[in-house]
Amino acid sequence: MRTRPLCLLFLAALASVSLILYLFPDHAPDPYGGLDRTTVSLRGNVRRKELRQSNQGEAVTLLYLEPEKRAGELIAVYLAAGQEQPLTGQDVVVKGRMSCFPAQTNPGMFDLRAYYAMRGIVCRMNDARLISVSGGAGAYREGLYRLRAAFAARLDAVFAEEDAALLKAMLLGDSSALDAEVKRLYRMSGILHLLCVSGIHCALVGTALLRLLRRLRLPRFLTAPLCCFFVYSYGLMCGMGVSALRAVAMFALKLLAERLGRSYDMLSAMSLVGLLLLAEEPRYAHDSGFLMSFCTIAALGLMLPSLFPRAAEREERARLLRLAKQRQRRVHGAVPGWRQGFAIGEVLREKAFSGVRAGISILLFTLPVQMCCFYVVPLSGLLLNLLLVPMMSVLMPSGMAVMLLAGLLPPAAQLMSLVPRLIFALTRVLAGTLASLPHMTWYAGAPAARQVIAYYVLLTVFLLRGNAARKAAYLLPVIALALLSFRGTPSLQLTMLDVGQGDAFVLRQGDVTLLIDGGSSTVSGVGTYRLLPYLQHEGIRRLDAVFVSHDDQDHISGILELLEDTAAGGVEIGHVYLPDIGRDTPDDDGYDTLCALAQQRGIPVSCLHAGQQLHAGELTLRCLGPSAGGRAVASGDANAHSMILHLEYGAFSALFTGDVEGEGLTELNDLLATLPAELRTVDVLKVAHHGSRFTTDERFLSLIDARLALISCGKNNRYDHPHGEVLTRLAADGARILTTSAGGAITVTASPAGLAGVESFLP
């Protein structure tokens, strides 16, 4: 490190930019927010285009349009079915419905707006129609698009649907046809990176092409430019992700060093490319692809030789010995067959051990990035990568050979396709088997910034250690791992998640985790994209109990998704509680579906009514409604018979009211009038029915004394929740009001002494 000033400069720049982005996150409003969900006409230039597959399996053309007078910005335009495709480089006028990318409003939620902004894409247009087309085409980019489409069609013709989709993702960067279950299997197995056109792919293509051109004995001054041009074109054809761009740039620097007669240093080249990328887009410092790509190279260049110094020395001696033997063979002829077999065995054995050492080094160096970006660490990934990454050197050439031969020699393409089919079959068996084993998925959660800093400080000390402290220094990575994985258990943490128009509350006290409701009527896949990411972010693998206030979709849709997720690595659920409406299994479609799913997973289901009490850890939960056989139950209105829970934790208390209104609200008010004053004084009130005017009436507020009123509702929802009348009544009662539509997720912390703090995710 001391002899590589570029490395030190890159690390300093990366640390500085990361710190600035952490201290000053970008919460600026979307400049295109005023156009969200409106139909507009747009004029611009087609910078590039792709073929995508819709949810219905239809081919959809995606244009990346640079708007007129807004250079540098791109709008993703999805053409309606049957529309003529413009050529890349042409000027077009399109008309369609604008849609802004959602920003992150919950811990753990994927920030789509930031992800696309880093790639220059500011918003999207759906179901667009071409109004006019003018201008000439860009032959180079249009040629790459047509070549990609032709290769994709050949893969579809040769392989079965799933294998073709996998190869299109691996070789062409098109993952739109991948099945969601396949993606999940690869993600939970730690091999999702194999489905991206990454540095491995570009390096293999570049190395193979370089060897071919050298065998053809092309002039050396032509070999390097041709290799760089083809590798760059391949990366551009596949979308040019940040890891592919890093690999292309480092490959070009390596060829340039050879041409200039200079030594090539992998770490210095990586640092130069990293500095250039950060100068172009500082937000790359928080991009998982950027961090994983560069940390992997740093692990191989720094961590591997420091963690296994003797192995590194042996590999260097072996490399020099192989070079000497190659020179000897050129001078004295071939080596006897038995010696070649012995040498091949030695090479294979050393390759296996080398792969294990590299895997450990990469895991150690990239672990904080995995925890900060993905929250879940698949322990099976280490073994699978050792087996599958070497197979990429066989899979990629065979897949590319199929693409080339399918149009010329179909029988040869079919024969060559056996290799990818066998590898994919082996992958499915290995990934499925390992993923089904217990304890193969570590819900690590996101570490605090101070933990990540301490971890890398200790690793830096380990890397810079002197020879005298070599053995004792191996304790440093162990201490770093212990610090990074430490998770304190909160006294009490209550988080109201932003789920759009719906409700979801996660309560944590010590080792106990509870979920009260979890659904949305405006966010599709709320369990997959809002609930599960938050649980993973917090390192929560098990929900001890799930309470369902009633069966409206905006309260149970996400819970149904969690129950349907039977794959290994999913969230465990200990118990499900429903409101007691007079039957062991309430006779309603929503309840029936939920009970059936719980029964399939062996999860007990119980019904609660007013007067019952539960204990979970140091928490006490009293059910205040519905009353067994009362007016609310008889009315048949789901909102009226909402489950109402009163939470106590020492001096702290909270009241969760579901969507209670009508007869249910009347029963609740009558019950509250009979309770002692200390039970009617609450620190947190979950305002019923998202702040509807038909609930939280004046009598209720006269009986309840609440310090903090939380309202879960969608931004610009069609019901206009929360209603002004409710806000006025709450303000007059002296309660502090917070809404998810304005502040995103809201986290309340408490101790047995009472309310400790309140924090909104958005400022």
Q: In the prediction, which pLDDT does 314 show? A: 65
Q: Quick one: average pLDDT of 695-715? A: 93
Backbone conformation region of residue 216, classed left if phi is above 0, alpha if psi is from -120 to 50, else beta: alpha
Residues in a beta bridge with 656? 645, 686
CA distance 5 to 11: 10
Determine the angle formed by the axes of helices 418-436 and 392-405, rounding to 10 degrees.
140
Helices 180-188 and 161-172, packing angle to 10 deg: 60
Residue type, 416: M
The three-state DSSP-derived secondary structure of 640-696 is CCCCEEEEEECCEEEEECCCCCCHHHHHHHHHHCCCCHHHHEEEEEECHHHHCCCCC
Structural contact between residues 539 and 443, judged by C-beta atoms closer than 8 angstroms: yes
Confidence of residue 624 (pLDDT cuts 50, 70, 90): very high
Q: Distance between CA atoms of 406 and 417, rounded to whole angstroms?
A: 10
Q: Is the pLDDT of residue 657 over 90?
A: yes
Q: Are 172 and 53 in contact (CB under 8 A)?
A: no
The Cα–Cα gap between 96 and 81 comes to 13
The reported pTM is 0.90
Nearest to 581 by CA among 535, 628, 615: 628
Where on the phi/psi map is residue 569: left (φ > 0), alpha (ψ -120 to 50), or beta?
left
Provide the pLDDT for residue 597. Answer: 92
Distance CA(162)–CA(252), nearest Å, equals 34
- Comparing CA positions, the residue from 624, 745, 736 lying closest to residue 683 is 736
Angstrom distance (rounded) from CA 275 to CA 548? 51
Beta bridge partners of 93: 43, 132
Q: Provide the pLDDT confidence category of residue 81 given band limits of 50, 70 and 90.
A: confident
**752 closest CA partner among 488, 544, 510:** 510
Least confident of 183-192, 243-252, 500-509, 637-646: 183-192
pLDDT of residue 705: 92
128 vs 96: CA distance, rounded Å: 4
Least confident of 83-92, 336-345, 347-356, 735-744: 336-345
**Could you check whether the bond before residue 752 is cis, i.e. omega within 30 degrees of 0?**
no
Highest mean pLDDT among 207-216, 388-397, 609-618: 609-618
- 19 Cβ contact partners less than 8 Å away, ≥ 6 residues apart: none
Tens-place pLDDT, residues 150-192: 999 999 999 999 999 999 988 888 888 888 888 888 888 888 8
Residue showing tokens 């001096």: 651
Q: Which of 755, 744, 751, 745 is nearest to 489 (CA)?
A: 751
The total of other beta-carbon atoms located within 10 Å of residue 321's CB is 11
Residues facing 132 on adjacent strands:
93
Q: Which residue has the higher pLDDT, 407 or 609?
A: 609
Q: What are phi and psi of 23, to 5 degrees?
A: -75, -30
Give residue-wise pLDDT tens across range 314-369: 666 665 566 566 566 555 555 454 444 445 555 556 666 777 788 888 888 999 99
Q: Is the pLDDT of residue 584 over 50?
A: no
Average of per-residue pLDDT values in the chain: 87
Give the lowest-confidence range in 494-503, 545-554, 635-644. Answer: 635-644
Residues 6+ apart with CB under 8 A from 658: 503, 517, 549, 550, 555, 639, 642, 643, 644, 688, 689
**Rounded CA gap, 729 and 561, in Å?**
36
Reported as a single tens digit per residue, the pLDDT across 419-478 is 999 999 999 898 888 877 777 888 899 999 999 999 999 998 888 876 555 677 888 889
Give the containing element (helix H, strand E) for 79: strand 74-79
Can you give the three-state secondary structure of 177-205, one letter per residue? CCCHHHHHHHHHCCCHHHHCCCHHHHHHH
Closest CA to 286 of 192, 197, 372: 372
Which pLDDT score is estimated for 605?
94
Whose CA is closest to 506, among 700, 497, 498, 188?
497
Nearest to 446 by CA among 517, 514, 502, 374: 374
Instruction: Calculate what percentage of the chain has a pLDDT beyond 90.
Output: 49
CB atoms within 10 A of CB 180: 9
Classify each residue of 100-139 as buried b or exposed e, where b means 16 or more C-beta atoms within 10 Å of its C-beta: bbbbbbbbbbebebbbbbbbebbbbbbebebeeeeeeebe
| Mean per-residue pLDDT, 368-382 | 88
Among 52-56, 152-156, 263-267, 408-412, the range scoring the smallest mean pLDDT is 52-56
What are the phi and psi torsion angles at 106 (to 5°)? -130, 150
User: What's the pLDDT score for residue 178?
Assistant: 84
CA 595/CA 734 separation, integer angstroms: 41
Q: How confident is the model at residue 615 (pLDDT cuts 50, 70, 90)?
A: very high
Number of other residues whose CB lies within 10 A of the CB of residue 72: 8
Range picked from 67-71, 212-216, 229-233, 493-497 for highest mean pLDDT? 493-497
